Structure 1
Amino acid sequence: MYTHQKKYITAGKPIEETNKAILFIHGRGASAESILTLSEHLDVADFSLFAPQATNNSWYPYSFMAPEVQNQPALDSAIEILQELLDSILAQGVKSENIYLLGFSQGACLTAEFATRNAQRYGGLIIFTGGLIGQEINTSRYTGDFAGTPVLITTGDPDPHVPVSRVNETIKIMEEKGAKIISKIYPRRPHTILPEEIEFAKSILSTNHSN
């Protein structure tokens, strides 16, 4: 088991110029550099981009639906990495409603779990094939109110890693906490990101900006 080194890369304009940030959370076996290539397909020229790097290229060792103890202490460490990065952006004067989180696969699960434990008005959440973490969802640790935060959550049916049932559970919990959900379930879609999903993500990134 492992804890994560505090390591991330940045791209785009400096935060003091943009007052808008997007966090890219990579999947298992991927990297901060690889997830940032998604920015080439999104309209993020006026954003500051941040991508944390998981130690060993994995945020936690087992399935997101494994008993949580099997994924510790890596999972808690991953949550802490995101919290510290978010806090550092907020400390630079950026409002939470101008902060967006985007994750794919394992990174999407981590994005959903982190944001729901810290529900507040984000600019938007983009959850490409992911859901809340745990063999059973522990709703007692989800606090706060999304206050209308737009959330895109997608998956394939079937997906080899993320059951549709868990996506539906995640949607229900996030809606109960005030999120505005856009969900798309694609029949027989491979474990990837489709062009249509990118277009949905663009629509979330193009709204709700304030300075």
Structure 2
Amino acid sequence: MSTCELCDRAASGYLCNRHREQLAARLLELPALYREVGECLVPRRSGWGEIVATKSAAGPRSPINEDVLDTVHLGRATEVIHSWRADVRRLRWPHRGAPPPARLEADCRWLAQELDWIVAQYPAAGDLAREVAELNGQARSIVGDPEPQPQRIGACVALVGEGVVCGAVISRLPGETRLICRWCGTVYGPEDYLMLHHFQPADSA
């Protein structure tokens, strides 16, 4: 048993189940996010390939950091994801040639299909997850759609041994009704909320 490279929790490979699921979801979201980024940005008149926001505040100067915008666009995302596909392919299928030409949607889909191998065998899985998360966050900052943040609910009250309570922090995303302890795996449904609240440690308030 190893530990997740992102959170040090127990894992059967380089990522725990939670971060594997996050990586899979972000890979599938990236193409649509960067299409939306493209709709928010148009070419600058000062030079080829430079970009500027189409929605800016009125006035002589934009409050947007244009140097940041120069790095958040489809071309860069495509280049980064394609480089990850090429590296995974090099290790996973060493006798095959170079991957097809870079296309963000195809490369994201290919990486998502290879996630089982990536999590189990790819030493750079943690770096891949971090860079995909960074691309996702940068795109969301442009389109004004930040990722929902987990809400802390309390401590897990499940017994994991004789007289031993798990005590791990339980959190959920907005709208989730089923709570799952990421440490011991206990599942709490809406019918368990009152019990969960009642048995919270006195110092957790």
| Fold match (TM-score > 0.5) | no
| Band of TM-score, shorter chain | under 0.3
Based on CA coordinates, which of the two structures has the bigger radius of gyration? 2
TM-score by length of structure 2 reads: 0.23
More strand by share: 1
